[in-house]
Amino acid sequence: MASPTVTPRSTDDFWADTDRHLVRYAGAGAFTPEIIARAAGSFLYTESGREILDFTSGQMSAILGHSHPDIVATVRRQVGELDHLFSGMLSRPVVDLARRLAGTLPDPLDKALLLTTGAESNEAAIRMAKLVTGKHEIVSFAKSWHGMTQAAASATYSAGRKGYGPAAPGNFALPAPHTYRPDFTTATGELDWRRQLEFGFDLIDAQSVGSLAACIVEPILSSGGVLEPPPGYFAALCEKCRERGMLLILDEAQTGLCRTGNWYAFERDGVVPDILTLSKTLGAGLPLAAVLTSAEIEQEAHDRGFLFFTTHVADPLVAAVGNTVLDVLVRDRLDVRAADLGGFLRRGLERIAQRHSVVGDIRGRGLLAGLELVVDRETKRGSDELGALVTRRCLELGLHMNIVQLPGMGGVFRIAPPLTATEDELTLGLDILDEAIGDAVARMR
C-alpha cells in the first residue's frame, strides 16, 4: 500500500481524485467547479487566482466573514492551551459561554448545552422534549430543515425523506405559511394564516395518538425558500402548543445572533420558546452549537436521567471561539449593522426587480434575504433552468449564490452575506446578480 502524501497534485489530478475518492453528499447537487485555496472577509480565492464574493457566508455560518482576525487569534491561542477534554470535564470557556448566552436571552432561558452542529443541537432538543413531556410526537413545518440525524431528519420535510426507510414514528408536518404562494387566502387574496394554522392542527389532532411532545420550527424557513411567518403567527402557534401540553422549540441556526437585525429572530414576535437551538452563526464557521432552556425543564430532564453524552460536548476550543463571536457582535454592534445593511440590500434587490420581470418576490429580514425567480409574475410559474443559469452565470462573474429549488416553487436565492460586509461589497454582489439575471433571461429567449 502506497504511503499517503501531501505533495500538491495537479488540477486534473485533483478532480480525478475527487471523482475517485469523495462521497457525493449533496443529493443531486454537484460540487462547485472551483478549488478554493483561501478565504478572507467576504471573499473566497481560488487556486487559479479568481476572487469570488461569498453571498452565503460559507454554509450560512461565517457571520464575521472568513478568517476574522479576532477568531484567528482566539484559535491560535486556545489550541495551544486547551483544545479538547473528556466530556465530563469542564473549562472556563464553556461556563463563560453558557453564562453569556443566557445573558443575551429573556428569562427563563438560562441553561445551556454546548455541542457541535445544528442537527446535533436539534437532536438533543427533541430528545429532551420527549423525556420531559413523556411523549413522543413531533410537529414541524412542511419545507423545514433541521438536520440529517435521525430525529432532526424525521422533522425535516424540505428534502431527503425518500429512500431511507421509516422516519421516527409520530412526526407530523404543519403547512408552512407562505405569503407569496398562499394556500389559504382571505377575500383579498392574502395568506389567511389563522385558518391555515387551524387546519394544520385539526389534521395533526386527527392523526395524533395523544402523545404530542413538541413543535420544532425555524423563525424564518431558510432552506424552505426564506419564508417568514407573518406577525402574530408565532404567538398563535405558542397557544396551540400550550393547549396540547407541547413544548415549543425554535431552531435559530441561521437567524440567531444578529443576522436578522435582532439578536434573535423570535424577538420580533414577543414569544419565548421553551427550548432554543443555535448552531451555524454561534461558531462563525467553526463547529459550535447550543441548546438553551429553562432551569425548570433542565431539572426535569436531569431528574429523568437525560443523556446526551457526545465526544465533543463542551469542548473548550470552540467555546472560546463562541465567546469571541459574542465579543465582536457586542463591540461592533452587528445587530444594528445587520439591520442597516439589510435595508441597503433590500433596496438594491428591489431595483433589480424593477429591471427584471423574472423577479417574483423579495422577502426575508436583515442580512437573510430571499429573491424568488419566476418566468411569469401573473401565474408565479418557476423555472429550474432559469435558476441554474443565473447561479452559474453569477459564479462565472465572481459571485457565489445559493438557490433553493423545491417542488411547486420557483428558484429562490438565499442571500446571506457576512454581517461584516461593506456597502461596496453588497453593491458589487447586486451588480453581478443584476447582470447574471439579464444574461440568463437573454439566453432563454
Domain boundaries, the chain: 27-60+333-444, 70-331
> How much is the average pLDDT of 14-18?
96
Mean pLDDT of the chain: 96
Q: Are 252 and 265 within 8 A, CB to CB?
A: yes
Paired with 373 in beta bridges are: 359, 411
pLDDT score of 445: 81
pLDDT score of 341: 98
More confident residue, 118 or 2: 118
Strand ordering across the sheet containing 275-278: 109-115, 289-294, 275-278, 247-251, 212-217, 137-141, 171-174
User: Residue 108: is the preceding peptide bond cis (ω within 30°)?
Assistant: yes
pLDDT band, residue 2 (cuts 50/70/90)? low
pLDDT band, residue 1 (cuts 50/70/90)? low
3-state secondary structure (DSSP) of residue 379? coil
CATH annotation of 70-331: 3.40.640.10
Paired with 368 in beta bridges are: 365
Angle subtended at Cα 139 by Cα 138 and Cα 141, rounded to the nearest 5 degrees? 140
Residue 57 main-chain phi, psi, to 5 deg: 50, 55
Percentage of the chain exceeding pLDDT 70: 98
- Does the pLDDT at position 410 exceed 80? no
Amino acid at 378: E
Whole-Å CA distances, 341 to 196, 259, 338, 371: 33, 10, 5, 16
- Does the pLDDT at position 30 exceed 90? no
Residues annotated catalytic, as ranges: 145, 218, 251, 254, 280, 414
DSSP state of 376: B
Tens-place pLDDT, residues 193-252: 999 999 999 999 999 999 999 999 999 999 999 999 999 999 999 999 999 999 999 999
Q: Please name the helix (run of DSSP H) or strand (run of DSSP E) that holds residue 10, with its range, or none.
A: none
Crossing angle, helix 193-207 and helix 233-243, to 10 degrees? Answer: 20
Whole-Å CA distances, 175 to 36, 140, 192: 39, 9, 12
Cα separation, 75 vs 69, in Å, equals 10
Tens-place pLDDT, residues 290-317: 999 999 999 999 999 999 999 999 999 9
Evaluate whether 27-60+333-444 and 70-331 have a shared fold: no
Query: Which class is 27-60+333-444 in CATH?
Result: alpha beta
Q: Are 421 and 68 within 8 A, CB to CB?
A: no
